Chain A
Amino acid sequence: MSNLEAGAPALPLLQQLLQRSLSDPGMLRATEGHGDYAILPNANVVKIGGQSIMDRGKAAVYPLIDEIVANLPRHKMILGTGAGTRARHIYSLAIELGLPIGVLTVLGTAVAWQNAQMLHYLLAKHGIPFIEPEGFSILPHYMAASGAVICQGMPPYKLWQENPVVGRIPPNRTDTGCYLISEVFGARKMIFVKDEDGLYTADPKKDASAKHIGRISLDELVALDLGDLIVERAVLDLMRTARHMHEIQFVNGLKPGQLTRALAGEPVGTVIYRERQGSTDE
């Protein structure tokens, strides 16, 4: 093993993989630099908030549906849904009952699934299907045929969800699930549709002095050390190691036109970006 580290001619990757431990950082470094293929570079992943959009009913959802349909001719979309107040209700109950994080994840997934089904009923006449995580291999066909697909935003971790550092709320929820779809497919954009104009220095629903942030880097955001955020913290961690999706955008779904502008590449709402490309390739 030491001769590999010492600059002797490296073995072909397969020979290294067969001989070395996958826990060895040197082995992992040998898997760098082979190029990253973008699977669906034209797809835009759009996450529709649960509490922020779906729970509001038609006042928020109908205009957003119209805006999605209007954008179908120009933009391919993977629409993921959040969970919302029913998830908060069942998380509260399940925590009191002493149920573990994996069970909370199974329960929360069902709520995001319900929201995805509702969105699906409303978009069905436009030929847009709902797909389960197991059905993702047919996603490219549906996107080509209908311009969009709907999925529930939770990653399919179910009982295999990891514990958070503090507390009992599943750390990888619908923001994370949608972000990871955009990352694995090498998508064009990751847009989160919520009920605020983006990121603020505090929760604008609770603090009138909160200031809007239009564009901010990951490092700047972490340095602010905000107690609350517009996005799951796991997404910020994953952006640091991501290969493709180094920029995420947050728009206000209650303001017609913001999603359209974000899809068109305009800097509406808030953009969070990673400063440098490549975690270890350089």
Chain B
Amino acid sequence: MNERSQIHDNHIPSRLMRESLVDRDVIATTQAPVTRILPNLNVIQIGGRIMDRGAALLPLLEEIVANQPNHMQVVAVGAGARTRHLFAVGIDLGLPTGALATLSAKDAAQNAYMVSCLLAKHGFVYLEAPFIVQLLPAILAAARGAVFNGVPPYDLWEHPPAIGRIPPHRADSGAYLLAEVFGARRMIFLKDVDGLYTEDPSAEAGKAEFLPRISVADLRARNLTTLPIDRILLDLMGNAKLCKEIQIVNGLKPGSLTRALAGEAVGTTIYAN
């Protein structure tokens, strides 16, 4: 079967020339340090549930603006109740996960667009994914900050999940992956809870124990029923090269973001081992 005619010489000389990029031994040779493209960047994510609260967002935006002179921030925004409705309709229609992901990204885009309008007078611009790829460093040099869609541009190419039909890479994953690829200083999630609890605090108020700092491995081992972040984020963090720590703080409590940006241990920190 190993016919000579099957080998060709149209290669550019390189370390990976002729190699199978599926070969474990070849892949192992590519292990090497990664540089930080934007080491001063702080990626801030506003969860969809905060967006659903309307005017509760405004003090948070003021806090972002107040911190921008000291901390370069880009703001990812998540999808909320409208996406839950869309999932219900889409699932009922039998649409695949990739279609649900494509549709859901528009909900987060609407939220991000509203945030960018409210921050426009402070020099923040709204960037679609192609412009983040090409323009983010230039925008940050020229403008005060940027707002983007937290849902990653996986669209029709979203992975079918192990259980059910909900897209696994949602607005937490997209914000985190951007922090990882740029080698950002911090990844801060602004949620409507103080951080991570052993039980869902909205359902089990008495029993829930607060977890201020926990490793990805410990968190996995606890096998919690609910998490305030996309569950797949634990997998992504397990393979992190640069962004090995994320912080979840309460975006409805004034001062939480400021303290997190200053490096204080507010909320919950999850770290990769």
Name A's B-contacting residues (CB within 8 A).
Answer: 1, 12-14, 17-18, 21-32, 34-37, 39, 51, 55-57, 60, 85-86, 88-89, 91-93, 95-103, 106, 133, 136, 155-169, 173, 177, 180-181, 183-186, 195-197, 200, 203-205, 207-208, 210, 212, 227-233, 238, 240-244, 254, 279-280
Stretch at the interface among B22-30, B58-66, B263-271: B22-30
Residues of A within 8 A of B251 (CB): none
Q: Determine the chain A residues whose CB is within 8 A of the CB of B13 once the complex forms.
A: 89
Whether the Cβ atoms of B30 and A168 lie closer than 8 Å is: yes
A200 to B27, CA, bound (A): 19
Residue among B20, B23, B87 making CB contact with A17, cutoff 8 Å? B87
A168's partner among B32, B183, B204 (CB-CB below 8 A) is B32
Q: Is the CB of A28 within 8 A of B94?
A: no
Q: Mark B150-164, 1 if CB is under 8 A from A, else 0.
A: 001111111111111
Partner of B163, one of A231, A244, A280: A280
Q: Which residues of B contact A207 (CB under 8 A)?
A: 2
Any chain A CB within 8 A of the CB of B245?
Answer: no
Interface residues of chain B, those whose CB is within 8 Å of chain A, are 1-2, 5-8, 10-25, 27-35, 37, 81, 84-85, 87-88, 91-99, 129, 132-133, 152-166, 169-170, 174, 177-178, 180-183, 200, 203-204, 225-231, 235-236, 239-242
> In this complex, what residue of A is CB-closest to B232?
A162
- Smallest distance from the beta carbon of B233 to chain A beta carbons, Å? 10
Q: Are B1 and A133 in contact (CB under 8 A)?
A: no
- A-B pairs, top 10 by smallest CB distance, nearest first, are A37-B94, A184-B98, A102-B181, A98-B35, A31-B164, A88-B16, A155-B157, A28-B164, A14-B88, A160-B152
Note all chain A residues with C-beta closer than 8 A to B28: 166-167
- The residue in chain B whose Cβ has the minimal distance to the Cβ of A230 is B22
A32 → chain B, closest Cβ, in Å? 5
A23:B226 contact, CB within 8 angstroms: yes
Verify B31–A166 contact, CB threshold 8 A.
Answer: yes
Given contacts A36-B96, A100-B34, A159-B132, 13 further A-B contacts (CB under 8 A): A51-B18, A85-B10, A89-B12, A96-B32, A101-B181, A156-B153, A156-B154, A156-B155, A159-B129, A160-B178, A169-B27, A184-B157, A230-B22
Q: Which residues of chain A come closer than 8 Å to B15, judged between CB atoms?
A: 92
Residues on A with C-beta less than 8 A from B11 are 51, 55, 85, 88
Q: Which residues of A contact B236 (CB under 8 A)?
A: 162-163
- B270 CB, nearest partner CB in chain A, Å: 13
CA–CA, A170 to B164, complex, Å?
Answer: 26
19 A-B contacts (beta carbon < 8 Å): A1-B200, A1-B204, A27-B166, A28-B163, A31-B164, A34-B92, A36-B94, A85-B17, A91-B14, A97-B35, A100-B37, A157-B157, A160-B169, A162-B239, A167-B27, A167-B31, A168-B30, A228-B24, A232-B22
Q: Are A254 and B6 in contact (CB under 8 A)?
A: yes
From B81, which residue of chain A is reached at the shortest CB distance? Answer: A18
**Contacting residue for A227 out of B25, B132, B158, CB 8 A:** B25
Name the B residues within 8 Å of A230 (CB-CB).
22
Residues of A within 8 A of B18 (CB): 51, 205
| Other-chain residue from B25, B156, B161, B226 in contact with A180 (beta carbon distance below 8 A) | B156
Chain A: minimal CB distance from B177 (Å): 4
Residues of B contacting A195 in the complex (Cβ-Cβ under 8 angstroms): 6
CB–CB A160/B174 < 8 A:
yes
B159–A158 CB distance below 8 A: no
State the CA gap A103–B129 with chains docked (Å): 13
A228 CA / B229 CA spacing, docked (Å)? 35
Neighbour of B177 across the interface among A27, A160, A241, CB < 8 A: A160
Decide if B21 touches A173 in the complex (CB within 8 Å): yes
Hey, which chain A residues are within 8 Å of B156, CB to CB?
133, 136, 180-181, 184-185
CB pair B96 A103 closer than 8 Å: no
Report whether A196 and B225 are in contact in the complex, using a CB–CB cutoff of 8 Å: no
- Bound together, the chains give a CA A202 to CA B79 distance in angstroms of 46
CB proximity of A70 to chain B, nearest CB, Å = 23
Residue contact B166 to A31, C-beta cutoff 8 Å: yes
- Report yes or no: B94 in contact with A34, Cβ–Cβ below 8 A: yes
**From residue B133, how far is it (CB to closest CB) to chain A in Å?**
5
CA distance A30 to B20 in the complex (A): 41
Which residues in B have their C-beta under 8 angstroms from that of A164?
A: 27, 239
Interface pair A180/B159, CB less than 8 Å apart: yes
A-side contacts of B81, CB under 8 Å:
18
Of the residues A17, A24, A238, contact of B159 by C-beta under 8 Å = A238
Given contacts A85-B17, A101-B181, A183-B98, contact A233 B29 (CB under 8 A): no
Pick the contact of A88: B17, B170, B200 (CB < 8 A).
B17
Contacts of B239 in A (CB 8 A): 162-165
A115 to chain B, nearest CB (A): 13
Residues of A within 8 A of B165 (CB): 31-32, 34
